[in-house]
Amino acid sequence: MDSENHGKVAKFTSRAFASGPESPDPKSALSGATASDHRDFLRSAAVEDPADQALLQSWVEMECHQLSHGRKVVQFDSLDFGTQQVVRERQEASVQKIGTAPADFCTVSICTQAGTVRFSEHSSEETGTVFFMPGNVEYDIFVPAGTETAYVGFSQQQFLRGARTLNPAFWETPPKSVVPLTTHRQSVFKSAVDLWLETAREAAARGEPLDPDIIRDQVLQAVLHMAIVTEENIAPTFNERLRAMQIGKKARSYVEDHLDADVLPTIVDICAALGVSERTLRYAFHEYVGMSPVAYLRIRRLNHVRSVLASSDPRDVTITQVAMRYGFWHLGRFSGDYKLMFGEAPSVTLAS
């Protein structure tokens, strides 16, 4: 980056959230437990120059041009974990973004419908408004004023490993250009991005570090589930029901073994270990326990939280620490689900 561009960064109002109120160094933001993780993961900026909007996304080559009036161009919020980025842009002036994605980089993105967003040759008016952009692709995006966009960027190799496990028929030969993915989970994707950013901001305000490795894995698994999983609901045959019982038993053992070892199992992990697709696993769980594998994993994680709280001293642990250790980001929702499941609040369990 040249010195002229460095000068432009000073024009926007930016907040980098440090790991505690006594830490003025922005490089310590949400740094985790080790000194090697000292980076400012969380950034919030009110941007007045479109060049700055591009500079804030240094992981991808980009030119950004303002196409409508307005002093403020965008409200920009991001989490940057090096090999993974979560970005939300609330566009206040229309812009055109032009660039080329790096080779080992891909994004999954959505937009709200304030106007018609054009993503290369595709439009947000199409049925599938979750877009996948692979690496080594030239892109040309028009985002009108008033639109909110969100995307998550990954290592393409890591993303495709999970995608091929869940849906090998579609992802064995990955797309070579931007494609819309047909899904009914755009609102879930948006809510998840909002939750990840808010959770990181709240953790920073409390001075509680977040483990970037855990966050990266949870974000990847969530996006794979929202963007890759198909919605078909085909009833299994009798023979498939017999196989479902076998798969269900093996999956249950896999889940319990990993949770007992303090490792959070994922749908991708289970599919890979059992050698089945996500659709097959989903059929198996509905036959085996009458619920989706995602619901089952959530319930088992709740049970393990309860076991840890019941056996812990409240002077040594907090409910937040245990909840986030088992992948519960939304603490209000976690408390409600916990009380609904066990008939008491987490604080009661911990104090007993």
Domains in the chain, ordered, with CATH?
3-190 (2.60.120), 213-351 (1.10.10.60)
Q: Residue 107 burial (CB < 10 Å; 0-12/13-18/19+)?
A: buried
pLDDT of residue 302: 94
The answer to whether the beta carbons of residues 254 and 142 sit under 8 Å apart is no
Residues 120, 102: Cα–Cα separation, whole Å: 16
Q: What is the pLDDT of residue 113?
A: 64
What is the maximum alpha-carbon separation in the chain?
Answer: 68
Residue 98 · residue 229 · CB < 8 Å: no
What CA–CA distances, in Å, run from 78 to 54, 85, 106, 161?
13, 7, 16, 25
User: H helices of the chain, where?
Assistant: 3-8, 50-55, 156-166, 168-171, 186-206, 212-228, 238-260, 267-274, 278-289, 293-310, 319-325, 331-342, 346-351
Cβ atoms of 98 and 62 within 8 Å: the answer is yes
Angle 34-35-40 from CA coordinates, rounded to 5°? 100
Residue spans of the chain under pLDDT 70: 1-40, 113-115, 125-128, 229-238, 240
Q: What is the pTM of this model?
A: 0.69
Backbone angles phi, psi at 76, to 5 degrees: -115, 130
